[in-house]
Homo-oligomer: A and B are copies of this chain.
Amino acid sequence: MSAINTSENPRDIAVDVRPAEGLPPEIIDPTVPVIYIDDLAARRGDGIFETMMVRAGRVRNLDLHRDRFVRGASLLDLPAPEVDRWLQATDMALSAWDDLGGGEAALRWMYSRGRESTGSVTGWVTISAESPSVVRQREQGVRVMTAHRGFSLSISDDSPWALVGAKTLSYAMNMAALRHAASRGLDDVIFIGDDDRVLEGPTSTVVAVTGRTMVTPSQQAGVLPGTTQAALFALARRRGWETEQRPLTVADLRAAGGVWLVSSVRIHARVTELDGVELPRPATADDVEALAVEAATA
């Protein structure tokens, strides 16, 4: 067996959830292989995931992630996850992470169709440290290009196989868009659909802010409901802000007071430049970012 690649992140934590085995989750060594060659996560991207923020030893907005995870499993016809088992695995991972010194991190749930040879689902909980770019982009913002998604989702209600609303492991296209941006010296992407309609980032939700109103694109086909956006909007409303979900165009972004990409671990990344044009930092920026941090770390 080939095991000459040892992890360069020895602090990484991994727990085998053993979702099909009727046995408790088990801490595993992430410096040796843990996934079988016939696992459909690797063969077909056939499964779902969630990425959550760990701060001060606790997973933030776990309920929102758990709910989307359960919905995603249903959309993919995966066996309904035993939530208690996933929470137990999460606690084990957090405890191990804490033993290693803790710190801000990304915790991931990965749930796979499982092995072709056994037909049994597989799943893991992992923790790894935030990358430096996450913190940098949170503090300094991101330079962004718009990108036609390359497809338009229009008939999701009649096409359950389009898996609209599920955060699947089939992210090759999202990763390709981010690579494309990087090759142009940029940090991130905003996907747009027909008629210049704003969709989402490859790993984030778009929020435009004007005055004390926050707007995010309608949760139409092709826009994954964002946990961080949901938490932010709920908190913002309680603090007297207006929030709207409605169709947004690229022109709307340019006309907005400010634009952010929000996501669980990076939390907020203000769009400082969109397609080469500088976007303003609005007077409310500090308030928006403070609200985002509070919401994302609840």
| Closest-CB distance, A175 to chain B (whole angstroms) | 5
- Contact code string A1-15 (vs B, CB < 8 Å = 1, else 0): 110110111001010
In the complex, which residues 151-168 of chain A have their Cβ closer than 8 Å to any Cβ of chain B? 151-156, 158-164, 166, 168
Among the stretches A109-117, A132-140, A224-232, A270-278, the one at the interface with B is A109-117
In the complex, which residues 122-179 of chain A have their Cβ closer than 8 Å to any Cβ of chain B? 124, 126, 128, 147-156, 158-164, 166, 168-177, 179
Bound Cα distance from A158 to B42, whole angstroms:
29
Among the stretches A29-37, A95-103, A239-247, the one at the interface with B is A29-37
Bound Cα distance from A33 to B159, whole angstroms:
35
Scoring A8, A38, A222 by chain B CB atoms within 10 A of each residue's CB, the highest score goes to A38
B12 close to A117 (CB less than 8 A): yes
Bound Cα distance from A294 to B150, whole angstroms:
37
Q: What residues of chain B lie closer than 8 Å to A85, measured between beta carbons?
A: none
| Closest-CB distance, A275 to chain B (whole angstroms) | 14
Bound Cα distance from A38 to B131, whole angstroms:
14
Whether, in the assembled complex, A66 has its beta carbon less than 8 Å from a beta carbon of chain B, the answer is no
Whether, in the assembled complex, A26 has its beta carbon less than 8 Å from a beta carbon of chain B, the answer is yes
The listed residue (B23, B153, B180) touching A150 by CB distance below 8 A is: B153
Bound Cα distance from A5 to B176, whole angstroms:
34
User: 26 A-B residue contacts at CB 8 Å?
Assistant: A5-B115, A30-B37, A32-B33, A33-B35, A34-B35, A35-B42, A37-B124, A40-B175, A41-B42, A44-B45, A45-B169, A47-B172, A116-B128, A148-B155, A150-B159, A150-B161, A150-B162, A160-B176, A161-B179, A162-B173, A163-B176, A168-B170, A168-B173, A170-B170, A170-B171, A170-B172
| Closest-CB distance, A213 to chain B (whole angstroms) | 31
The listed residue (B150, B153, B169) touching A43 by CB distance below 8 A is: B169
Q: What residues of chain B lie closer than 8 Å to A41, measured between beta carbons?
A: 41-42
The listed residue (B120, B152, B163, B175) touching A172 by CB distance below 8 A is: B163
Whether, in the assembled complex, A197 has its beta carbon less than 8 Å from a beta carbon of chain B, the answer is no
By Cβ-Cβ distance, the 3 closest A-B pairs, closest first, are: A45-B45, A150-B162, A170-B170
| Closest-CB distance, A252 to chain B (whole angstroms) | 21
Contacts A36-B30, A37-B30, A175-B46 known; A152 to B149 CB distance under 8 Å? no
16 A-B pairs besides A32-B36, A116-B128, A150-B162 with CB distance below 8 A are A1-B29, A1-B32, A1-B34, A7-B36, A8-B117, A12-B117, A14-B37, A32-B33, A33-B36, A34-B37, A41-B42, A44-B175, A46-B172, A77-B179, A150-B154, A151-B153
| Closest-CB distance, A164 to chain B (whole angstroms) | 7
